[in-house]
Amino acid sequence: MKELAGKNVLVVGMEKSGLASVAFLRDRGAHVTATDMHPHAVEGAPFVLQQDAPFLNSDLIVTSPGVPNDLPELNAARAQGISVIGEVELAAPYLLGKTIGITGSNGKTTTTAMVGHILQEAGIPSQVGGNFGTPVTAMVASSRQDQWNVLELSSFQLETIREFRAEIAVCLNVTQNHLDRHHTFEAYASAKSNLFRTQRPEDYAVLNQDDPQCRAFAGVGRGHKVWFGSAFLKDGEIIIGEERLMRASELPVRGHHNVENAMAAANAAHLAGVPVDVIASALLTFEAVEHRLEFVRKVKGVDYYNDSKATSVDATAKALESFEGRLWVILGGKDKDSDYSVLESLLRKKARKILLIGAATPLIEAQLKLPTERVETLENAIMLASQGATPGDTVLLAPACASFDQFQNYEHRGRAFKELVNALEK
């Protein structure tokens, strides 16, 4: 729906992307109504609580990523022929330039930041956003025909796209996540696959050869397939195409998963026109993204790492694999129908202490079958760890859960962790 002027549009969900959608629609002459389950102050549009929202009297409904796509009100609107789209799809017809779309259960924020950093270092015009940073609708005004839009895209965003297209589409991995929202792994994977369905033969699909679901995506869409993975790591050297990129050990971010992220980012940047030597030089100066295995500080010989973005079991496993051992691991938060038992062997091998916070504590405790300690809050976890850890230990926040039981989001949780750690010095 390119023409928006005069249309009655309902925007559902008043988080960052919902507010950006309201402003975007208002600027294009639409009659906008904003709604959410909770009261919000919305500039430039009337707000009504969700139970009173005019779902069936709208020409178009735009949902924020946090809004379940199977809400009864949305299904009723679809049954009446009302179009229901997400914020990414709303922006798609207006976004100038080409797009690199990046998805995956884990690593997509880091990979998106890596691609943006490489393009910037190469002097190629680009802007970065999506699920990470700036909403796509807020990127339209600054978009240009001669630039790349580098977008992190979540399953919540991808399940509502129809025409949105990424000239370079990247999938890092697909592991069990967000089953509280998608209900089945198949539905979750299907949402991810939408990124490739709209591609054309001249486009590129960059896929992890080591991931079964990524291999399955090779049969989706018409983009030319480009692979990365262990087959392209030879004697410790990362290979891009037929060229040596760099030694994996030279990467400034820790963990094998970040080697995969760098492979994916390097392939995407290379396809966007960056020479391999420039990619290597840029990766050497890349700094870890906030809340992703972020080193906070050393206090009395103990290292503190913030991986608040580890909101899935698989992400926490990758964090644990990045350390030799002697870990004080902080787990817990809001459960997402996850299986925590898969962490048992890693925790048994690497953890000195497992500290449980938040609503998922009983579930994690029951599934792990390991000694754990209920501490309830992040503050209690830091206090206990700081009292018991000895020089050479590491305190790691890698919760394997969403944050919404005690925090606004994972960023809020990560900031709280860093503030508590920094206060230890005082």
Which is catalytic among the residues 16, 98, 117, 178? 178
Q: Which residue, 283, 308, 336, sits at the end of a domain?
A: 283
- Nearest in space to 28 (alpha carbons), one of 147, 137, 131, 129: 137
Residue numbers of the domain that contains 14: 8-87
Complete edge-to-edge strand list for the sheet that includes strand 351-357: 294-299, 302-306, 394-397, 327-332, 351-357, 373-376
Same domain, 80 and 134: no
108 is catalytic: yes
Which is catalytic among the residues 106, 131, 177, 267? 131
Same domain, 278 and 356: no
Q: Which residue, 87, 103, 131, sits at the end of a domain?
A: 87
* Number of domains, the chain: 3
Domain membership flag for residue 78: yes
Q: How far apart are CA 154 and CA 311, in angstroms?
A: 13
Report the CATH number at residue 419.
3.90.190.20
For the chain (length 426 residues), average pLDDT per consecutive 10?
A: 89 96 97 95 94 96 94 96 97 98 93 98 98 95 98 95 96 80 84 96 98 95 96 95 94 90 98 98 92 92 95 92 95 94 96 97 95 97 97 97 93 97 87
Same domain, 114 and 251: yes
Same domain, 80 and 122: no
Domain membership flag for residue 196: yes
Domain membership flag for residue 288: no
Same domain, 178 and 72: no
131 is catalytic: yes
Q: How many helices (H) and strands (E) would you count in the chain?
A: 16, 20
Same domain, 121 and 230: yes
Same domain, 135 and 239: yes
Which is catalytic among the residues 16, 98, 108, 270? 108
Domain membership flag for residue 204: yes
- Other Cβ atoms less than 10 A from the Cβ of 25: the count is 26
Q: How far apart are CA 132 and CA 130, in angstroms?
A: 5
Same domain, 180 and 121: yes
Same domain, 304 and 268: no
pLDDT at residue 199 in the model: 97
Domain membership flag for residue 33: yes
Same domain, 65 and 103: no
Report the CATH number at residue 82.
3.40.50.720
Report the CATH number at residue 251.
3.40.1190.10
Same domain, 268 and 124: yes
Same domain, 101 and 41: no
Q: Which residue, 283, 311, 337, sits at the end of a domain?
A: 283
